[in-house]
Amino acid sequence: MNKFDFIVHSSGGNDSIALQQYLLNKGKNFAVLYNDTGWARDDWKIRIEDVIDWCAAYEVPFFKTEGEGMEALVRRKKGWPMPASNMQFCTQELKEKPTLAWLDKHDPNSELTCVNGVRREESQNRRTAPEWVDSSPRHGGRELWSPLVRHLEAERNSLIDQA
């Protein structure tokens, strides 16, 4: 059994930081899960260290998945992922599969609610994103909550300032 009820899927980006602060403000019992794809800018490592420090300061558990990495994945697939082809494998291989493996190991009874920082304002693709999904296939059938879905940039930025 976990000592937390929610698992935040964090990229370390602005929406993820705002989400963490939102949950802290609401008194939610959560942990943070970061997928290290091995394909981040050098300065991103510093950003993630800041996320780890923030979690430690508030006693929020922080977990990280590490897969084969982007370079090894491209070699194995024998090509670079192309948006207009059937070679869109990065997110699935470097984020979704490691996340599901972590969830299966740490939450085998699917008791956790997965949480992400999706906001409708972000893009046309997300303009109709739901706040709740009762059974998300990308999260092993677990509930998925997107509490910032209606937050505008100014509201998100206010949460970032608090963090």
At 159, which amino acid appears?
L
Residue 17: per-residue pLDDT: 97
What is the reported pLDDT for 96? 78
**In the structure, what pLDDT confidence band is assigned to residue 2 with cuts at 50, 70 and 90?**
low
Q: Could you tell me the pTM of the whole model?
A: 0.83
Terminal C-alpha separation, the chain: 29
Confidence of residue 78 (pLDDT cuts 50, 70, 90): low
Q: Beta partners for 63?
A: 33
Look at residues 75, 38, 32, 74 and name the one whose alpha carbon lies nearest to residue 57: 32
Residue 114 CA to residue 122 CA, distance in Å, equals: 20
The reported pLDDT for the residue numbered 12 is: 93
- Residues 89 and 6: their CA atoms lie apart, in Å, by 27
Q: What is the mean pLDDT of residues 67-91?
A: 53
The pLDDT confidence band at residue 90, using thresholds 50, 70 and 90, is low
Tens of pLDDT along 104-133?
A: 999 999 999 999 999 999 888 889 999 999
Cα 94–Cα 98–Cα 104 angle in degrees, nearest 5: 160
Place of tokens 């070679």: 87
Alpha-carbon distance of 88 to 81, in angstroms, equals: 5
Q: At residue 19, does pLDDT exceed 70?
A: yes
pLDDT the model gives residue 113? 97
